[in-house]
Amino acid sequence: MRTYYVYILASKSRRLYVGVTGDLVSRIAKHHAGEVQTTARYRITRLVYVETTTDVRAAIAREKQIKKWRREKKLRLVSKANPAWDEIVLDWHASRRSG
């Protein structure tokens, strides 16, 4: 069964980007390399929030739902899951390699 990811990236100044993908590691690498125009302009590269699901339709619906939220609600979502707003891709990637 395939896994889909709804994710939030942030810049150092906390500009936000919400996305969905079936290959999180590859997508984050593209953001880091500046290959995604919408995030490259503002250097939005830090993965700060991730949700997973096996239902692609649910992932897309959740992405759309979060995108419609006011900024304050998005900030609360990230802060609740990641209070320090740390980059989580390295921890996530390390756990994927060991698992």
What is the length of the chain? Answer: 99
Structure tokens belonging to residue 26: 């590859």
Q: pLDDT by residue (tens digit) across 3-60?
A: 999 999 999 888 999 999 999 989 998 999 999 998 999 999 999 999 999 999 999 9
b/e per residue, 51-75, with b = 16+ CB within 10 A?
bebeeeeebeebbeebeeeeeeebb
Residue 98: the pLDDT is 45
* Phi, psi angle pair for 22, to nearest 5°: -100, -5
- The pTM for the full model equals 0.88
CATH class belonging to 4-98: alpha beta
Q: Where are the domains of the chain?
A: 4-98
